[in-house]
Structures are given as C-alpha cells and as structure tokens.
Amino acid sequence: MQQLDNIVTRLEQQAQQFDAENRKRQRKLREQWFSQSLFHSRSNLAVDYVQELKQLIAKLSDANRPEVRNFLAEQVSQQLMALTTALNGSSLPVEKKDKRLVQQSRLAQMHQQLATYRGYEQRLLINIENCRRQHDSIGAQQQEKRLNRCQQALATLEASIQQLEEGR
C-alpha cells in the first residue's frame, strides 16, 4: 500500500505541475480526457482526476467483500495506467480552436463589415445627390471618388467572403 501511495503522490505532483504549466500557457484541456466508464470526473484539471483516483483507493481499502475489492482494484489499476500514460506521454487532449468556429466567427465579422460599408455607400450616394442639387461639382467629384473607393472595398470584401464560404 505504501508503494501505491508513493505512485499517487508522484502523479499528484505531476498533475499539479502540468496544470500550472497549462495556466501559464493559457491552454485549456478538454473536459473529457477519459471515458466515463473509467473516470466520473469531467474537468480540465489533471489534479481532479488524481483526486478521484485517491477516493477510489480509499474505497478499496475500506472494502470488505472480495468481489468488491477485486472490482475496485481493477478500476484503480486502470485509472493509474491511464493517468500515468496521459501525464507522462503529454498526449493530453488539449482544446484546439475548432476551425469551423473560427471560420464562422471570421465570416460573421466580415458580414458585419460588409453591412457597415453598405451604410457608407448609401451615405455617399446621398451626399453626391445633395452636392448635385446644390450645383457643387467639386464636392460631388470628391464624394464620387470616395464612393469609388468604397465600392472597391465592397467588391474586395465580397470576394473574400465568397472565398471563405466556399472553403478556399
């Protein structure tokens, strides 16, 4: 039992170190490291899984019936192996930004920008009309130049949106 306690203590230290490094890097782990049949915990901290292992070891030492002890011993063994492999192998399920979510967010920003540019375009058209009514040809020319640049920006943005929507 002393050897098991030493292993768990070492695992707990590794988990704390691992969690600290992830906080420094501002990385999050997915909350589902292991299958629900192996661990009931759902956490993005390695320490929480070690705590569940410690609780299971406490149940094992309190168990009286041989079949319960065998079952709990098997569960402890599986959890120990899984945690050791995960913490030593650095193959933990780091949460990656889902490419689709990033793309959808970017697309939403681009559509918002498109709406803003369309608003500019409408205001420039109104300004041009006002300048013409007031017989201000210089003002109208300036507004037309702005309108031309705005429409170029709109065309570029629309092309970018189309490329993003088509997945290029």
pLDDT digits (tens, 9 = 90+) for 67-95: 878 888 888 888 888 878 777 765 445 44
Domain boundary among 33, 61, 89: 89
Split at pLDDT 50, 70, 90, the class of 121 is very high
Q: How far is CA 132 from CA 125, 129, 142, 145, in A?
A: 11, 5, 12, 14
134 pLDDT exceeds 90? yes
Dist CA 82 CA 69 (whole Å): 20
Split at pLDDT 50, 70, 90, the class of 102 is low
What does the mean pLDDT of the chain come to?
81
- Kindly state the DSSP code that residue 38 receives in the 8-state scheme: T
Residue 60's contacts (CB-CB under 8 Å, 6 or more residues apart) are: 69, 72, 73, 76
Neighbours of 137 (CB within 10 A): 10
Residue 94 lies in a domain: no
44 pLDDT exceeds 90? no
Closest CA to 42 of 51, 50, 53, 30: 30
Among 36-50, 53-67, 134-148, which range has the highest average pLDDT? 134-148
Can you give the residue range of the structural domain that contains 162?
99-166
In the prediction, which pLDDT does 66 show?
Answer: 82
Do 112 and 135 reside in the same domain of the chain? yes
Are the CB atoms for 83 and 56 separated by under 8 Å?
no
Do 83 and 8 reside in the same domain of the chain? yes
Give the count of domains, the chain. Answer: 2
Between 102 and 144, name the one with better pLDDT.
Answer: 144
Do 114 and 146 reside in the same domain of the chain? yes
